[in-house]
Structures are given as C-alpha cells and as structure tokens.
Structure 1
C-alpha cells in the first residue's frame, strides 16, 4: 500500500468532500464543509499561497493538511501547516508525507518559521517533536449544551448600548472591519497580525459561507460598533463562535459578554442544540466568560513551532 500526497483540486467536489469529512472525524470541534473548503481555496489572498493537501492510499483519502503563508503578519517568513489524519488510518505514513510536502512547498516560498496546531495527545505531540517542532502555547476547545444546559438569561443592555446583528451592516460592513482589526491586535498569538486590507477581509471573512450575519451579534454605542461575537454555522445543526472582542475604548463594561449572550440566545431560538468555541489557555477573561455561560473544555491543542534552516 502506497501513500501519495497531492494538492486539493479546485472545482473538484470529491476532493472538497473528502477533506471536510476527514477534518470532521479528526477535529469535530471546528466546522468544515465541502463548500467552505472550496471557498477558502478559491478566495484566499494571493500572498497567502494557500494550498490544502490530501493524502491518498489506494484511492482512499486518509489525511489532510492546510498549508500557507501568514501574509498579514508584519514579520516576514511566518507560515503554517496543520496536519490531520483520519483517526482510523494513522500509522501509515500519511502524516509524515503531508508534512514533508508542506515543508518543501513553504521553504520554496521563503518561509523561515512554521506554526502547527496539534491535538494534546501523546502520539500527536511525539509526532511533532520527532519532526523538529517545539511546543509553544496551548488553546482549548469548549462545548456548551444549548438544548439541556442552563444558559444564563440575556442581560439588559446598559443605557446607551444597542444590540444589533451583522446583518444590520449589510450595506456598509466597514465599521465591523475596523472593530475586527482592532480586536485582532490584542488576541493572544505567537505571530503578530494586522488587518489592513478591507477587500481581503470582505472576501475571507464577511462573505465567507460559514459566517452567519444573523447570529453574529454587535453591541453598538452611539452608533459605533463597540463589541461583537462572530458566529459560524453550517446552515443546519452546527453553531460556533469564532471571535469575540471589544474595542479598547469600551472595555471593562461587559459588552463582549452581552454580545456573546445575545448570539447564544439567538442560536438557541433558531434551534441549535450545542455551541462550540475556542480559547487560548492563557486568556483568563474570555475563559471566565465562557465558564459563566456554561461551556466546558472538550479538548486541548498545542501550538508547535519549527525554525526552517
């Protein structure tokens, strides 16, 4: 049996379906759909050199990798490779083949430091360390039972604060871009990133097929978006918040909790039964907010980094 690695083909539904299926099995806490896989490949910024990879064995897809350059970092040479293999097809060489292919591609593009997320399990961590990666920070995946849990009541907005949704900004989403760009600067990360390209943000975030404008809640103060909680769904049963933040001028007023609470209540009213989110393990304030909502940690991942010589 021979494992081969190749690039995911644009416009190939079978490739996108296979990639999404493996990711769902290996990483059920993050939403991937065939449509989102195809969209990410088609609309990625040219400078990201984004290329998903598939590993095949005798015609069966058994592994995946997301590979690209962190083009919006002010530090040159930053790149990423995230490898996930079908849980029942490990130990066949797919992970190593995917990683070698990705490293060769990124090295040829001038990458000097590679970032890789790895589930916090002994075999996964040993794989990363065996290939020269060193552990850095960690992050948690969290789950909330919307159907049977006790979601705290939606707080009343403070005077001067209004709750809206992203759909209310459909005619001009730039204020949300400004808010997203500001909050990104304070998100815990090993890599500095800057949102400066509005058109790229429209393509990669605002128009993304998984972003729910109706379930993304925004706290507005004096007409200005001050805090938000961005939601993604598959249009069916899966709901998750992917970013919650507050502009610096409006912090310590409970607006992030208010926005997230509004999004969660909207999701439950829409029929969603469970919610997922993720937090850096060192982000105490956001972990406390999620604990207040009733989220529980369901898995942990570790960031691994390798310097390319």
Structure 2
C-alpha cells in the first residue's frame, strides 16, 4: 500500500468530501462541510497562499493538511500547518509526508515561523516533538448538550441595551466588521495579534461564509452602538458553533457578551440544533467562566506548536 500527498482538487467533489471526512473523524467538534471547504478554497485571501493537501492511500483520502500564511499577523512571516489523519489510518507515514510537503511549500514562500494545532494526546504530541515543534499556548474545545441540557434563563436587558440578529445589518455589515476587528485584535494567540483590515476579504471569508448563520449571530447594542457579539455557525443539520464572542473595549465589564451568547443559544435550540460547540484559549478565564455558566464542558484540548525555521 502506497501513500502519496497532493494538492486538493477544488473541482472534484470526492476530494472535498474526503478532506471534510478526515477532519470530522479526527476533530468531530469542528464544523466543516464539503461546501464550506469549497467556499474557503474560492475565497481565501490571496496573500494567505492557501494550499490544502490530502494524503491518499491506494486512492482513498486518509489525511489532510491546511497550509498557508498568517497574512493578518505582523512580522515575522508565519505559516500554518494543521495536519489530521483518520484515526483508523495512522502509522502509515501520511502525517510525516503531509508535514514535509507543507514545510517545503511554506519555506519557499519565505515563512520563518510555523504554527500547528496538535491534539493534546500523547501520540500527537510525540509526533510534533519528533518533527522539531515546541509546545506553546493551548485551547479547549467545549461542548454543550442543547437538546437535553438546561440553558440559563433569558435575562432582562439593562436600559439602553438591545439584542439584534446580524441579519439586521445585511444592508451594511461594516459596524459588525469593526466590532469583530477590535475584539479579534485582543484575542490571545501564539501567533500574536491579528489585524483585520480588509473589509472586502472579511465579507467573503466570514460574513458570506456558507456556515455563517446571520440569523443566529447576535449583536448587543448600547444606545444604538454595536458593543458586543457572538458569531454563530451551523452545519445545516444539528450542530451549532460560536466561533467568536467578544466585547468592544469601551463596553467591557457589563456582561454584554453573556447576554448576546445566551440569546443566540436560546434561538439555536428553538431552531432545532442539538449540540453547541465553541473554543477558548486556556488562559482566557473570563470567557471560560461564561461558557461554564452556560453548561459547556471541555471535550478536547489542542496545543499550538511552533517551529522556527533557519
């Protein structure tokens, strides 16, 4: 049996389905569909030089890698290498081939620092160590049982505060972009602060993404000014995910993010979603406390591994 690594073919449905299936089997708490992958391939920012790879064994896709540049982060030039292999197809050399191919590609682009998310499990961590990566920050995946769990009741809104779905901003999403950019800049990360400055790219990559639910994304306004939000994504079936929840600096400490997320979760449950997922940096204690209040439980942990290239 022979394992080969190649670029994904966006026009081939079987490639999209195989890539998504690998990610779902290795990381079941991460939302991805063939259609969302196709959108990413078509709309990823050109400066990211995004190049997803697949590993095939006798024609069957058994591994995948997300590969590209972190173009929203300042110097040094940083690349990302996120490799996943089907749990029932490990120890065949697919992971090593994916890493080697990704590193060669990123080195040719001038990357001098590589970052990789690695599941916090002995085998995965040993693999990263063996390939010259060192452990950095970590992040939790959290799961909430929407079907059988009990959400906190909806709270009365303070004076001047209103909650609105993102769909109300469909004619002019820029205020939501500005809120997202400010909160993203303060998010803890091994890669450093990300700078969202390209509004048109944000529309393509985030606002119009096929997993984004504008109806379930909630914006909290204070006296008409967008102050906090929780961004919702869904897989079109039963799973719901909040990819980002944050508050503008001038409005922090008022519980607005909690109000926005509670509203979104209640509406997601009413819409028939049965599982809610989210993720948090393990050092983000305020957001971890909020998610614990909702009833989320840690279901897995990833570690951000780093390799410096000479």
Question: Deviations along 1:25-72, whole A, 9 cap, x unmatched?
Answer: 000011010001111011011100001100001011000000000011
- Two-structure CA RMSD over aligned residues (Å): 0.6
Q: How does 1:103-114 map to 2 (within 5 A)?
A: 103-114=103-114
Q: How does 1:64-213 map to 2 (within 5 A)?
A: 64-191=64-191, 192-213=193-214
Question: Deviations along 1:81-111, whole A, 9 cap, x unmatched?
Answer: 0000001000000000000000000000000
Deviation at 1:156, TM superposition (A): 1.4
- Is 1:45–2:41 an aligned residue pair? no
Q: How does 1:176-255 map to 2 (within 5 A)?
A: 176-191=176-191, 192-255=193-256
- Is 1:277–2:278 an aligned residue pair? yes
1-side partners of 2:275 and 2:105: how far apart? 38
Counterpart secondary structure, 2:18? helix
Deviation at 1:223, TM superposition (A): 1.5
Deviating 4+ runs (over 4 angstroms): none
2-side partners of 1:296 and 1:45: how far apart? 34
Counterpart secondary structure, 1:88? helix
1-side partners of 2:48 and 2:139: how far apart? 24
> TM-score when scaled to structure 1?
0.99
Deviation at 1:190, TM superposition (A): 1.4
Deviation at 1:76, TM superposition (A): 3.5
2-side partners of 1:301 and 1:118: how far apart? 5
2-side partners of 1:80 and 1:204: how far apart? 17
Counterpart secondary structure, 2:67? strand
Alignment size in residue pairs: 309
Q: Unpaired segments of 5 or more residues in structure 1?
A: none
1-side partners of 2:48 and 2:227: how far apart? 30
2-side partners of 1:56 and 1:74: how far apart? 35
2-side partners of 1:194 and 1:210: how far apart? 22
Contact (CA 8 Å) 2:76, 2:113: kept in 1 or not? Answer: no
2-side partners of 1:200 and 1:156: how far apart? 36
Partner of residue 60, structure 1: 60
Counterpart secondary structure, 1:67? strand
> TM-score when scaled to structure 2?
0.99
Deviation at 1:147, TM superposition (A): 1.2
Counterpart secondary structure, 2:212? coil
2-side partners of 1:149 and 1:10: how far apart? 39
2-side partners of 1:104 and 1:157: how far apart? 53
